[in-house]
Amino acid sequence: MSLRIELSGRGTFTRTFDSPAGVIKGNSAKLDVPGADFWSVENGKIKDFNWYVNVNVMLEQMGIQPDFASAVKAQPGSTPRATA
């Protein structure tokens, strides 16, 4: 048997977030992040459980923007686009 649940994780960004660039301090941002649970049950016991959250939404609500320019620059032979 399989079970799928859509959910929303709610909270406040009060602690720290360890990013590849360093530690980001909490800013008291309110979060309401969509996600989903996937359960697999066999013989009345949980066989698998996976939980996913929409990380892009979470980071945006925390005020953390991805740095796409650095990712492009890090690729061998890349040519970054001009920015306005």
Residue 83's pLDDT band (cuts 50, 70, 90)? low
Tell me the C-alpha distance between 10 and 13, whole Å: 10
Domain count across the chain: 1
Contact 1, 41 (CB under 8 A): yes
Q: Is 23 among the domain residues? A: yes
CB burial of residue 35 (10 Å; 0-12, 13-18, 19+): middle
More confident residue, 70 or 28: 28
Q: Report which of 8, 13, 31 is spatially closest to residue 23, judged by C-alpha positions.
A: 13
Rounded to 5 degrees, what are φ and ψ at 7? Answer: -145, 175
Q: Tell me: the pLDDT tens digits for 9-66?
A: 999 999 999 988 889 999 999 999 999 999 999 999 999 999 999 999 999 999 988 7
Q: Give the structural domain span for 69.
A: 2-73
Q: Is 78 among the domain residues? A: no
Tell me the C-alpha distance between 7 and 1, whole Å: 20
Token pair belonging to 71: 């990712």
Q: Is 63 among the domain residues? A: yes
Q: Would you say residue 75 has pLDDT above 80?
A: no
